[in-house]
Structure 1
Amino acid sequence: MITIGELTLVLLAGSFLTAIFVVTVSFYSIKRGHFYFPRLVKSGLVMSEGMVKGICNFFSLDDKELTAFFIRLHNTMNSKAFSKIESSKRAVFLPQCLRNSQCPANLTPEGLQCRRCGRCEIGQNIDRLENLGYNVWIAPGSTLIKRMVIKYKPEAVIGIGCLVEVKEGLDLLDKINIVGMGVLTMKDGCVETALNWNDLFEVALLGLEDK
Structure 2
Amino acid sequence: MSLLNPYMPVITLVGELTVLIILSIVISGFILLILAAYAIKSGNLLFPRFMRAGLLFLEGLMRALFRLFGFEDSDFLKIIVTLQNTLNRKAFMAVPISERAVFIPHCLRSNACPAHLHDEGLKCRECGLCRVGEGKRLLEILGYRVFIIPGSSFIKRMIKRYHPRAIIGIGCLMEVKEGVEMSTQVDIIAMGIVNLSDGCVETTADWDQVFRIAVLGIDPKDVPDEMIKYLE
Larger gyration radius, structure 1 or structure 2: 2
Residue 39 of structure 2 is aligned to residue 29 of structure 1: yes
Please list the CA deviations of residues 22-57 of structure 1 after superposition, one character each: whole Å capped at 9, or x if unmatched. 222111232233211111001111211122111112
The one-letter code of the counterpart of 1:92 is V
Over 3 Å counting, the alpha-carbon distance change for 1:57 and 1:115 in structure 2 is same
Query: Could you tell which deviates more after superposition, 194-203 or 16-25?
Result: 16-25
5 Å-filtered alignment, 1:1-211, equals: 12-208=22-218, 209-211=220-222
Over 3 Å counting, the alpha-carbon distance change for 1:40 and 1:138 in structure 2 is same
Instruction: Give the length in aligned residue pairs.
Output: 211
5+ residue gaps in structure 2?
A: 1-10, 223-232
Over 3 Å counting, the alpha-carbon distance change for 1:130 and 1:23 in structure 2 is same
State the Cα RMSD in Å.
Answer: 2.1
TM-score, scaled relative to structure 2: 0.83
5+ residue gaps in structure 1?
A: none
State percent identity of aligned pairs: 42
Query: Could you tell which deviates more after superposition, 4-13 or 66-75?
Result: 4-13
The one-letter code of the counterpart of 1:165 is E
SS in 2 for 1:24: helix
- Per the TM alignment, residue 14 of structure 1 is displaced from its structure 2 partner at its CA by 4.2
Query: Could you tell which deviates more after superposition, 20-29 or 88-97?
Result: 20-29
- Per the TM alignment, residue 177 of structure 1 is displaced from its structure 2 partner at its CA by 1.3
- Per the TM alignment, residue 71 of structure 1 is displaced from its structure 2 partner at its CA by 1.8
CA distance in 1, matches of 2:169, 2:18: 38
TM-score, scaled relative to structure 1: 0.91
